[in-house]
Structure 1
Amino acid sequence: MLLVSVTALAVTGAAVYLWQTTEEGRLPPKTAVILHAVNNNLVDLDIEFNPPKIISGDGSGGASRPSILKESFQIPVQGGGDIPAVMYRPRGEGPFPIVMYYHGGAFLEGYGSIDTHDNIIRSIASRSSSIVIAPGYRLAPEHVFPTAAEDSYSALQWAERNAESFHGDIDRITVAGDSAGGNLATVTSQIARDRSGPDIQAQVLFYPLTTFQDVPLASREVYDSGYYLLSRNVMYQARDGYTPEEWMWDHPYTSPLQADDLSGLPPALIITAEFDPLRDEGEQYAERLHAEGVPVRTSRYRGVMHGFVSFHEVMQSGRSGIQEASAFIRQANNEQLLFPDEFAVQVKQPPQGIDGVKEQTEAFAIAAYLLGRAGADIFSSELGE
């Protein structure tokens, strides 16, 4: 029995070491294990990964969660149609701050929805003590630009008009989103500025897409394989589907990085990931905001991939990203935001100390779980046995 246990531990350790080794750099164990699982179809990319509860936790970091209510409904948009939406809100009379959350998914049918991003939406609602409204939006290729942008703005207008009915505070509205949804969040801020409202107090952008133009960006070249959960091929599909005509690539409501005027936009928090094709354009957008007088904080999380916040139940860095965003929203709600005078990207290191040991232990436990599911043959061949 002891020999079997030692052998299993050795195989698990060798597998994790192998998964950590990439051409782009050495990955932390937890990142390596999750990427291996996703890329080998051992778990679904829609975050339905449920490892043993002893290692997954609830994503709350041990904090008790306030009681929140969930409601699904429809929001009317231009052209007489409707888009689906979900709302999480605290119990009580409020009025509560409002967060509009726009989900990622490359603007394309089948790549993301309010359902695939429910864990982020729920966690931000719980941690920020805010009402979080997450609208869907009509997707490409059936619906091209500017449909998604206009749907996102229509949802913001709906929230302002109906705030009293769900105990929302229209003087404290934040927009947020990830990837394509990060694009829509900051684009919605531009539209609201250009059309005289609704007023937005802050924006939170997780690894946002900020340009459809062909510009030299090192991160797009280095991390374009798709192994880090976003590929060059998907980015081209998004551009071909959502912006099929080249003039659309230059529009400020698709490529805010190249917009002529970014002044007057809400204060921003921009979170990027080290191993992500969208890293550089997110950070360059932050720098442009700063140059145009928009207060901005920028954090790069080392050792993680595109979409890492979606894995916050099983990744400490994901939890840290959610916590940073929620704290920023709370500070905005209480008019307590502070920003550095000079632009800088604050680098967030992978978990250290006890947290680092815990992450590594969990990574090995998850790896053993995956090895058991997949069978020894697959991994024996990988290890050259």
Structure 2
Amino acid sequence: MPVDPQIQALLEAGRHLPRTETLSVPEARAQYEARIAAMAPPAKVARVEERDIPGPTGAPLRLRLYTPEGRGPFPLLVFFHGSGFVLCSLETHDGICRNLCAGAGCVVASVDYRLAPEHPFPAAPEDCLLATRWCADHAAELGADPARVVIGGGSAGGNLAAVTALRLRDEGGPKVLGQMLLYPVTDWHTPGHPSYAENAEGYGLTRATMEWFWGHYMPDPGGTVSHPHAAPIHAASHAGLPPALVTTAEYDPLRDEGEAYAERLRAAGVPVSCTRWLGLNHGFYFWCGKVDRATAAMAEAAGWLREVFAGRPPVWPTVHR
């Protein structure tokens, strides 16, 4: 279908902005942080607090904890934000976390993992693995149930959630109930899947921006571009992984690699629900409350979480909505 008119209006409003790959990292970070002002007010939650935990190097690793209304213990979502392993923050993804917290009735622990280029691969996956284990071990302190934990994230955060699921399987757990992968990065950009060519320009995220992101995250990639902790689609096996929600956008360079990852999971016997959101572009969950179809997508993600937390992971084929 054509680009959603509400998305098209947002694209037009941003045409004057310089392209990410032409900016320095500090300039690009400032540009992404500035768009918070354009987002719709998120859902209300009962409480938001921050906590520092010891990171893999001994330096503090910050978590932002969102608690829903009601009485706990609540289920727990450990969430990893996106934007190419280089940009964005707890602040840029605050609205998404609040909407998931309220919509799914769960505690959300948003992880402030280390960013490239200051901390290239594998710093981010190390932080996310440690944070997941810490949250599971300390769930009771967070008002959460350690038996009902899901990991998730969007874009680069979806990559980190998929990688964390692989590492939990291979490196001693703990077991999680599901992995929520929102327009995830699952593969290297070259040669790239067909959507890299179809959506290379004009829809927000571009091929050139993805190359810029990967260049900072893996400045000397060598053979690591196919390492499963960088590109989880290249894991030797996807069997035994937790149930997954994979969402993609019609006008996104990452569309096909996300759907290819869903098919790899299915082929390995993993329960998968996959939705391609028609008319939308990469990053659409930011626009919940401002773009009607993004609001519907957020409701679907929250509904999937509720079912998984209840022990009823839904399964549906790749559908176009």
TM-score by length of 1: 0.76
The answer to whether 1:224 aligns with 2:200 is yes
Look up the equivalent residue of 2:200 and give its one-letter code: D
SS at match of 1:212: coil
Residues 328-367 of structure 1 show CA distances to partners (whole Å, capped at 9, x for unaligned) of 1100111122324xxx31000xxxxxxxxxxxxxxxxxxx
Name the structure 1 match of 2:80: 102
Deviation at 1:48, TM superposition (A): 2.8
What pairs with 1:233-252 in structure 2 (closer than 5 Å)? 233-244=208-219, 245-252=221-228
Q: Which residue of 1 aligns with 2:24?
A: none
Aligned residue for 2:131? Answer: 155
Q: Which amino acid aligns with 2:60?
A: D
CA distance in 1, matches of 2:94, 2:140: 24
Q: Give the structure 2 partner of residue 367 of structure 1.
A: none
| Root mean square deviation of aligned Cα | 1.9
Cα distance in 2, alignment partners of residues 130 and 335 from structure 1: 14
Separation of aligned partners in 2, 1:312 and 1:162: 31
- Matches for 1:112-127 after TM superposition, within 5 Å: 112-127=88-103
Amino acid at match of 1:69: R
2:188 match: 212
Q: Find 2:66's aligned residue among 76, 88, 99.
A: 88
Of residues 171, 181, 204 in structure 1, which corresponds to 2:147?
Answer: 171
CA distance in 1, matches of 2:42, 2:295: 7
The Cα shift of 1:40 comes to 2.6
CA–CA separation in structure 1 for the residues paired with 2:290 and 2:70: 31
The 1-side partners of 2:111 and 2:261 are apart by 24
Correspondent of 1:70 among 48, 55, 69 = 48
CA shift for structure 1 position 172: 0.4
1:215 shift after superposition: 3.5
Q: What residue number does 2:297 align with?
A: 321
Equivalences for residues 126-137 of structure 1 within 5 A: 126-137=102-113
For the pair shown, which has the larger CA radius of gyration, 1 or 2? 1
Cα offsets for 1:180-205 (capped at 9, x unmatched): 00000111111111112111101111
Runs of 4+ in 1 over 4 A off after TM superposition: none
> 1-side partners of 2:46 and 2:177: how far apart?
23
The answer to whether the aligner puts 1:29 opposite 2:5 as a matched pair is yes
Preserved CA contact (<8 Å) 1:268 1:295:
yes
Matches within 5 A, 1:139-154: 139-154=115-130
Shift of 1:278: 0.3
1:124-170 C-alpha deviation (Å, 9 max, x unpaired): 00111100000111111121111100000111111022111121111
| 1:193-241 Cα deviation digits (max 9, x unpaired) | 111211110111110000125234111112122x322122221122221
Matched with 1:48 is 36
Alpha-carbon distance between aligned partners in 1 of 2:158 and 2:278, rounded to the nearest angstrom = 20
**Deviation, structure 1 residue 50:** 4.3
Cα displacement string for residues 88-115 of structure 1 (whole angstroms, at most 9, x for unaligned residues) = 013555111000110001011xx21111
Deviation at residue 41 of structure 1 after TM alignment:
4.1
Question: Structure 1's 26 and 163: CA in aligned 2 closer, same or farther, altered over 3 A?
Answer: closer
**In structure 2, C-alpha distance between the alignment counterparts of 1:324 and 1:253, rounded to whole Å:** 28
Structure 2 counterpart of 1:281:
257
TM-superposed deviation, 1:246: 1.7
Distance 2:5 2:295 in 1: 16
**Residues 233 and 93 of structure 1: is their aligned pair in 2 closer, same or farther, counting only changes over 3 Å?**
same
Supply the AA of the counterpart residue of 1:234.
T
Q: Residue type of the partner of 2:3?
A: L
Contact 1:59/1:314 (8 A) holds in 2: no
Are the equivalent residues in 1 in contact too, given 2:193–2:256 (CA < 8 A)?
yes
The correspondence for 1:38, drawn from 5, 8, 14, is: 14
Contact 1:297 1:339 in 2 (8 A): yes
Counting matched residue pairs gives 307
Gaps of 5+ in 1: 1-24, 349-385
Per-residue displacement from partner, 1:277-304 (whole Å, max 9, x unpaired)?
0000000000010001111011001111
Residue number in structure 2 paired with 1:345:
318
SS at match of 1:266: coil
Partner of 1:335: 311
Q: Residue by residue, what CA displacement relative to the aligned partner does 1:34-81 show, whole Å, maximum 9, x if unpaired? A: 111123349x65443449xxxx6x566xxxx5x420001212111111
Percent identical pairs in the alignment equals 35
Amino acid in the other structure paired with 2:306: R
1: CA distance between counterparts of 2:215 and 2:51? Answer: 31
Could you tell me whether the CA contact under 8 Å between 1:248 and 1:254 is conserved in 2? yes
Distance 2:71 2:5 in 1: 45
Task: List gaps (5 residues or longer) in structure 2.
Answer: 19-30
